[in-house]
Amino acid sequence: MNNKSFNKSYNKSYNNKSYNKSYNKSYNKSYNRSYNSNSNSNFSSNTCYNNNSNFDAINNDSYSNNNNNDPLANWRKKGPRNNRNERWERVGYISRDSNNSKNEDLRQPEIQKQYFKYIQEEIEKIDFNKIEEHTLDPLLASLRKLREGIVSSGQKNEFNIEVFELSTRIALKARNFEELWKSLSYLILTLYEGDVDTSRKKNNKPEYIKYYLLYLICYLPPTNIEKSLIGDSQVVMSKYNLLSEEIKETPEIKFVYELLILFNVAPINYVRFKELYKKANEYDKILIQNRLPRIRKRTLTVLTKTYFTLPTNDIKEWLIFDNFEILKKYLIDSWKELLNNIDIDDYDQRITEEQVILRIPKKKK
């Protein structure tokens, strides 16, 4: 980094505590606005989450300096380092009053781009076919720092959109839904709603709105478990109705609407759900899988009441299982919970690779 790019007034103000304090305040206000949205947004709802305690918790604690349970906040890379990596690993969180040096200040556009290049190089080293529970934590931490710098700078441009889209995808890969929401909410409610008019925004907007809606549908707990699988149907529909007709006609949003209708009817049409699930991409499935336990339970209840015997492959498809042994364990565990099967102890023999005996006919007296 060429130090000449920083003018004298910046150098004087950078190390000033009041400067950093005011910048952090502006950052927090800006991010809070992105969560709560604003009255001028075409994709906002001022009251959309007032009744959802889980959302409020995410919203209020996302960047709290007192959030000591955040595994990313205190993450440190272990193992050998090189000089270039050391520079970027020293970067702290703006939201936590970190005293970054001027050469690592992520509020500066040029530093943001250098740091983003470093992140992309780190991504290239990862085998995404072999990721484990915390494999992507370093990436998530780096992307979070960069997002904070972007939000604090208050800029809205194509580069910012690219960063938040990448952050969304990595959070999905990691199944880190808290980081996912931070990325998605700012991307959808702020960056996409800005004056930036680029091919990236035009081409990608339906895809990321889809993830946004799927989060609301599949991740948040249903408000009425008995009648619907949707997190909050009123909120989701209010968001959907605010979309332009052009966006609604895209394949991505049509997919969401089909799922929305399907989840709002009890009992669920498990045949149609299987078809939709097959159409879903990798990221869709990660979000939808949050609802799979409830869907499987409801589907099995319907099948058990309706059929005595079914082909095993059909049940595997309808319950969304690929592995026979996992299906078998799931069926045995589930049957033990059903009242009408309490006295039956031949579970294991009822399941073969060809067929499953769901119910035993009652003996006539």
- Are 253 and 247 in contact by the 8 Å Cβ rule? The answer is yes
pLDDT greater at residue 80 or residue 211: 211
The pLDDT assigned to 245 comes to 95
Question: Quick one: tokens of 218?
Answer: 């599949």
Residue 171 confidence (pLDDT) above 50: yes
The pLDDT assigned to 91 comes to 66
Mean pLDDT in residue range 44-54: 35
Q: Return phi, psi of residue 363, to 5°.
A: -75, 135
Residue 318 confidence (pLDDT) above 70: yes
pLDDT greater at residue 119 or residue 265: 119
Mean pLDDT in residue range 221-239: 84
Q: How confident is the model at residue 82 (pLDDT cuts 50, 70, 90)?
A: very low
Mean pLDDT in residue range 105-127: 89
Beta bridge mates, 356: 310, 351
In 3-state terms, what secondary structure has residue 134?
A: coil
As a whole number, the mean pLDDT across the chain is: 76
Whole-prediction pTM value?
A: 0.75
